[in-house]
Copies of this chain bind each other. A is one copy, B any other.
Amino acid sequence: MDQVKVIKIKESVFADNDVQADRLRQELKKENTFLLNLMSSPGSGKTTTLLRTVEKLKDRLKIGIMEADIDSAVDAEIMAKKGVKTIQLHTGGMCHLDAGMTEQGLKELETGDLDLAILENVGNLVCPAEFDTGAVKNVMILSVPEGHDKPLKYPLIFQVCDVLLVNKIDVLDYFDFDMAKLKEYAWMRNPELKIFPISARTGEGIEAWTAWLYEAVLEWNRK
């Protein structure tokens, strides 16, 4: 598993991304594959969170990961070393993935036998939020060092996400981070947002988050 497949994805040819995203979701439904789109800033802990998530769920679900990066295969190599089915998507400088680009990745991942495919989107709070990737659920990570004011500054990503993981709570004591204010600002943007405080490093809070994800995957496959 140490050799990671690196895919150079091309700019999407589809004019209407929303139509394309809906079509992709329908195809995934037929295959009983749940696609999760994970977004965050650079360095908020996407890869470590994914490792914890996969560790918790791998005995119950068949999982595949697409690591999207502008360059490098750092994250994909880390995932692959843990024995997770992983491919690296190179966006060639592009700051986001749309549905057409995601579909190119899914084809290479061969999702037929997967219950859960996870897209680790490009590290960016702005552009990825603007494009429906075809995912069933959108999840974002905000880490404690980034500050509790981010829903005020980056509204769209909080609006389009179903879940907010507040990562790095193990360093809460060292930062001026107000969890109550974060929740207030985040729910102002999106009253339906589920919020799970976690520490991908220590494992705290991972149980509650993965329980939610497991239920969501089961529900999608029951529908």
Contact = CB atoms under 8 A, between A and B. Distances in A.
A70 interface: yes
Nearest to A148: B43
A152 B149 CA distance: 28
A69 interface: yes
A95 to B, nearest CB: 4
B152 A72 contact: yes
- The quantity of this chain's copies bound in the complex is 2
A184 interface: no
Interface string A126-159: 1100100000000000010111011011111000
A175 B122 CA distance: 22
B72 A95 contact: no
Contact of A123 (B69, B93, B95, B125): B125
B125 A124 contact: yes
A42 B41 contact: yes
A74 interface: yes
A71 interface: yes
Contacts of A149: 72, 74
A70 B154 contact: yes
A19 interface: no
A216 interface: no
A51 interface: no
Nearest to A173: B174
Interface of A: 41-44, 69-72, 74, 93, 95, 122-127, 130, 143, 145-147, 149-150, 152-156, 168, 171, 174-175
Given A70-B153, A74-B149, 18 more contacts: A41-B41, A41-B42, A41-B146, A42-B150, A42-B154, A43-B146, A43-B147, A69-B153, A70-B126, A71-B154, A93-B130, A95-B127, A122-B126, A123-B153, A123-B154, A124-B124, A124-B126, A174-B174
